[in-house]
Structure 1
Amino acid sequence: MEFKKLVIENFRNFSSIEIDLSNKNVIFGMNDSGKTNLLFAIRYLLDRSIRNKGFIKSDYHKHDISKPIKIQLEIDLSDREEDDEESLKSSHSRLLISTVAGARKNASLDTFLISLEAMYDEKELFGNPVLSWGSTLDDLVEVPQYGTRSDIDKIFQIVSVNPAIELDVFFKRNRKLLFSDDTKTDEDVALEKAIESSIIDLNTNISNLSLITSVQSQLTDAYKSYRKEDLEIKIQSEISISGYLDNLTPYINWNGDTQNYPTSGDGRKKLLSFAINHLISEKQYSSKVIIYLIEEPENSLHRSVQVSLSK
């Protein structure tokens, strides 16, 4: 699967524009030239979270609500017959083909179009996006819709990458996704049982420390000065196995070195953050075509990191 062309009409600063695409695109221009609007055109087409917001009057070019907003994406599926099962492109084409079913026509099997059109409703003060797709513009069919979801959402997943991402915060926030139970092996289960046994021993040893038992005794006496009851105050350590992920931190280990080193250097931290984001996205959306959108990397990344990220 390869993106070939994007057509935008009557959307924000675009009266009418046609752009050739590939699967890796870099957009540059002066401030307020429409770079963000171009990305949003793609997101309205393929990102449910944006599309469901619909269009307001200011989304229409020069507020001209007499004409609809139109956004069309042309996709090349000529790789659909490749025999290489390892080919990611081929699997993407087959995913789309299996989802669109009868929307493809024999007259143009190598090309597929996804189209959005939104006519403004002055009573509702809202432009409702209507999706359609097919092999040719004159033979498009409406995309099946289920509440706020459509069949397009079964195929594509937009992932926005924040160039200013902070490693420590991002790693902590995504630990559970990164270390999900679906990758746990039988050996992991056995190790967790051993860890749990070790933690029980650790908790017991902590509670038996003389400085803790001494305070326990003092608290018991103090409590009984208020009320004479046949009890003792116990202070118990409660380190839990469920929290062992909370103490994980990524380090750097240089090949051949026995020591681990803190992840230092803003560039390396950023690249590791992008790697984590990539891995999580591939885990969460393994059955979809993932489209990564990265806005204004030049504002927060050194040029060498921009080059690395582009790969």
Structure 2
Amino acid sequence: MRIEKIRIKGFRNFDDAEIFLQPKTLIIGANDVGKTNLLYALRLLFDKSLNEHDLELTDSDYNAYSGAESIEITVTICGITEECLLSTFGGSIKDETTVIRYTNSKNGQYSIWIGYDETVLEEQSTRQYIKRLNMQCVDTNRDLFGFLKRERIQILRMAKERLDKEAKEADDVKTGEIQSKLNDINSQVSSLNYVASALESVNTELAQLSIHNEDQKVKFVAGESDAEKLLDNLILSYSSDQGPLAIGGDGRNNQIFLATWIAKQNIQKNIDHVTFFAVEEPEAHLHPHQQRKLSKYIQSNFNDQILITTHSPHIASKFEPDSIIRLHTVNKYTHVACGGCSQLLKAEFEKFGYRLNALSAEIFFSDGVFLVEGVSEVLFYTALAQEIGVDLDRLNISILAVEGVGFKPYVAICDALKIPWVLRTDNDIFSKPNKAPTKDYYAGISRIAGILSQIRNADEPINQYWQQHKDENEWGHQKSIPATAIALNDYFRAQATVYGLYVSDVDLEMDLAKSDLYDDLKAYYRKRTVTTLVKAMQTHKAQNMMSFLTSEHTKLGKIQGAEVCAPLLALKKTVEEGSHPAHD
């Protein structure tokens, strides 16, 4: 069985959201967007550790922005074939599906409802089903030693119960051998001169205090004198070739916690109940390679349904696209991109293909994305943002290079994930066909016309305008540019900015050479003309850009308000206002 979807109304960040899940589901989004609240909504229905008081909730659990007076959480469970669940839900299952709903209202009390669909729900007296169907969570506050203290006896007991008769008998023999060795060790400890001397006065005083102490002696023992108790109180250490080492590093502790927790779940599997799982931010304290490995490890070591929250692009880049839920905020309400786990996302990611890595996966967690052509643009706009007061980290904005002019897959991913974006591209004059060219054209406006046809309907005025005038964007090869082409270029570039599409006059280097940075650039590169300056800037572009910015970044304030700043400022405004751009 698995939870197919959950619908949340009026609960915390959520006004009314329907979210589809997969057997392995990754939940991503910015801080405080509602990832933990989504898991808690499921916990209200399935977590055995929540008591009656927890289920009643408080006024702060109701969505304040909508003024919600009631909460409704509805879960649809599909693929029910387990005997323990079939007997528990009985007539509330149809076509292997059942629906469970939690309701509550201010000044009221919670109720649980169950039925084979939402039209036939019947109220239940308790969550009696959690004996057979429940949820286990690992939250962000992982305490390895506290966990082991609570769970080690149970883990050892369950492992012991799984042994066959022969293995149990072998263990009994070994336990006897351990007891014998413990007796020898403690006898030798007691015979040590300094140990005996240390306790001689203590035993003398005990005898004087009470006659009952005369035949009893206090001894030092090596931790424990009873083998059974010793084995019940084993402590965990990290073993290396040099012997056992103390466990201390936060990253390793996190790995050991998760490995031990997963092992416990696998040991205690039982046909009498079904459990699904949730893990919050498994990447804590781990470096990128281990984050990626942990992502694959968790996915491959759980046969049961598991939900994971993360802030890690490294984990996200290793998840199946149709198993990712992205939460985002619009007008203070939490929304779900594509309704949660979606075939639409899968289709777009398949087009995205090889481009997905930890760098591009950063956009999953962004509130705004600025798409540029290459590394030199990333360097320039990162420095420019700092100098003109656009705090990229505070605004959660990412600047991402598409490494060329292939913007379309990135745009499609951003739109699917409901992430606001802008882009800036060059507007070089290209020739066609490649062999024996006969015509020239503005490549930039042709490129954004293709993007506009992807993100807007064909009957949109700007798309209709392009179809009517696109022939004006071509002229004879190496001929002077006609006035009609120049007019189309100017008009189309201006209109495209409404949709977050920005086109250079020529390219970034030429735009900067014609800006108020001209004198500073000439002095730095030691060039006298625009042509030689641009050529120098375009040689080893990223390296030269980095060198210039390292020593001259404070000069960027001179171009504040110039056209080159426009996409950055437009995206800043969109993110601050929490509104959707025109292309959404």
Q: TM-score normalized by structure 1? A: 0.74
More helix by share: 2
Unmatched runs of 5 consecutive residues or more in structure 2: 300-584
Matched, 1:119 2:121: no
Question: Where do 1:79-94 residues align within 5 Å?
Answer: 80=81, 93-94=82-83
- Does residue 182 of the first structure (1) align with residue 161 of the second (2)? yes
Q: Does 1:71 align with 2:50?
A: no
Aligned to 2:117: 136
What does residue 58 of structure 2 align with? 56
Aligned to 1:84: none
Residue 157 of structure 1 aligns with which residue? Answer: 134
User: Deviations along 1:230-282, whole A, 9 cap, x unmatched?
Assistant: x68844344322134545434346xxxx7656478755543232111122244
SS of 2:28 mapped into structure 1: coil
Larger radius of gyration: 2
Distance in 2, Cα, partners of 1:224 & 1:116: 66
Q: Is the 1:72–1:114 Cα contact (8 Å) retained in structure 2?
A: yes
> Once the two structures are superposed, what CA deviation does each residue of 1:27-54 show, in whole Å capped at 9, x if it has no partner?
1112222222211111112124336211
Deviates more, 1:26-35 or 1:236-245: 236-245
Amino acid at match of 1:110: E
Q: Which residue of 1 aligns with 2:389?
A: none
Higher relative contact order (CA 8 A, sep 6+): 1
Matched position secondary structure for 1:132: strand
Question: Could you tell me how far 1:295 is from its partner in structure 2?
Answer: 2.1
Letter in 1 for 2:121: L
1:198 to 181, 193, 197: 181
SS in 2 for 1:62: coil
**Aligned residue pairs, count:** 282
How far residue 156 of structure 1 moved from its aligned partner, in angstroms, is: 2.7
Contact 2:15 2:66 in 1 (8 A): no
| Deviation string, structure 1 residues 178-220 (Cα, Å, up to 9, x no partner) | 2225357222223222322332233233323344455666677
**Structure 2 residue 86 is matched with structure 1 residue 97:** yes
Report if aligned partners of 1:43, 1:51 keep a CA contact under 8 Å in 2: no
Give, as a single letter, the amino acid of the residue that structure 2 aligns with 1:77.
G
Opposite residue 103 of structure 2, the aligned amino acid is E
User: Residues 112 and 220 of structure 1: is their aligned pair in 2 closer, same or farther, counting only changes over 3 Å?
Assistant: closer
Distance in structure 2 (CA, Å) of the matches to 1:299 and 1:71: 30
Specify whether residues 48 and 251 from structure 1 end up closer, same or farther in structure 2 by C-alpha distance, changes over 3 A only: closer
Q: Which moved more, 1:264-273 or 1:202-211?
A: 264-273
Does residue 1:278 correspond to 2:259, yes or no? no
Q: Aligned partners of 2:12 and 2:119: how far apart in 1? A: 26
* Structure 1: stretches of 5+ with no match in the other structure: 81-92, 122-126
Alpha carbons 2:72, 2:102 under 8 Å: kept: yes
Structure 1 residue aligned with 2:493:
none
State the 1:161 CA deviation: 1.8
| Distance apart, 1:74 and its partner CA | 0.9
**Structure 2 CA distance for partners of 1:236 and 1:305, relative to 1, 3 Å:** same
C-alpha distance in 2 between matches for 1:155 and 1:225: 60
Q: RMSD in angstroms over aligned alpha carbons? A: 3.7
Q: Provide the rounded CA distance (Å) in 2 between the counterparts of 1:66 and 1:215.
A: 70
Change (3 A) 1:215 1:306: closer
**Which residue is equivalent to 1:83?**
none
Whether the 8 Å contact between 2:91 and 2:116 is mirrored in structure 1 is: no
Check whether the contact 2:8–2:17 (CA below 8 A) recurs between aligned residues.
yes
